[in-house]
Amino acid sequence: MNKKELARKILKRAKISINGDKPYDIQIKNEELYKRFFRYGTVGLGEAYMDGWWDAEKLDEFFYRALSANLKEIPEIKNWRFAFFILKRLIANAGAEINAFNIGKKHYDIGNDLFELMLDKRMVYSCGYWKNANNLDEAQEDKLDLVCRKLYLKPGMKVLDIGCGWGGLVEYMARKYNVKAVGITVSEEQAKYSREICKNLPVEIKLRDYRNIKGSFDRIVSIGMIEHVGYKNYRCYMRKIYDLLNDNGLFLLHTIGGNKSVFATDPWIDKYIFPGGMLPSIKQIGAATENLFVMEDWHNFGQDYDKTLMAWFENFHRHWPKISAKYGERFYRMWKYYLLSCAGLFRSRKTQVWQIVFSKSGVKGGYDAIR
């Protein structure tokens, strides 16, 4: 069986046709795609899309169907390059302190102009909470307030935000809940932006790796940060938070989570979007927090990331003419592939969004879960 027929057979499992008339069908522009995909796997597929070799009218639906049908698990698709990639991740420690600032330089420092056009008005780059929201701004503000309520913030508390992004949460906590906040990031652009929006508030922004934080805090929050920590460092990360948290404090972890334990992310995502990243599993988080914390609450709203990613893509696509000259067409296709493939991933429920609340020795009288 030649590679085109093999691809047709594999895609049929997801009810996807080659050059079909459905919006999720794959449209082939270059017949060399088949050879490229079977030789280089998901990296080949993604790079071929960036090069314009194939398309789909609704890329998110293409990935939703492909992932729901578990096409990545088919033996013919797995290759030695993927196995070698995993082996490198097992040997190396991508989350080591020496690599701490890589993700800032390679992703978060791409350009604030891009993120300002794509994100909500508060520049929150994590999953929104859509339970009662009608648009992205509302979903992100509701998420920030959900975090604050889960932490039971009180005026005068000292709060640490590990991975503070562009400062949306620390600014919101200081203004609405009258707390003192410290935000840390490994992105120079995020630090500059955060300092500007928080300049008249009791907020300190530090360009620092989590291993080098000192102090004592009533509350600690980490949103979308542990995905950059790496499985070899989960225990170190949790021990550091334990040491920084007051005895009666609360820690909220907000993370994308995987349904199974892995040791690396998808190779294309690793190469082009989040180098060195990976998603923790329930098992890995449990092992990292064992004998340190009491798990008070575990909330999953992973379906909301599909809506968030689609809203980000809508903003990105609508505003693209404003930044197209700076970034170029190949970047547009790369970013579209990133946002819409991830939307399909969350739609398939292969990955989740968890908010987990921890205490050191248990909240007296029990913790009242907030939704």
Q: For residue 216, count other CB atoms closer than 10 A to its CB.
A: 12
How long is the chain? 371
Contact, 253 vs 356, CB < 8 A? yes
- Give the closest residue to 268 by CA, choosing from 348, 341, 326: 341
CA–CA dist 130, 308 (Å, integer):
8
Residues 6+ apart with CB under 8 A from 17: 11, 25, 26
Angle subtended by helix axes 329-347 and 33-50, to nearest 10:
100
Catalytic residue among 127, 148, 198, 342: 342
CA–CA dist 54, 45 (Å, integer):
9
Exposed (0-12), middle (13-18) or buried (19+): which is 315, by Cβ within 10 Å? middle
Distances (CA, A) of 355 to 35, 58, 83, 155, 191: 42, 30, 32, 23, 24
CA dihedral 345, 185, 137, 336 (to 10 degrees): -40
Contact, 36 vs 48, CB < 8 A? yes
342 is a catalytic site residue: yes
Tokens of 66: 């492909």
Active site residues: 342
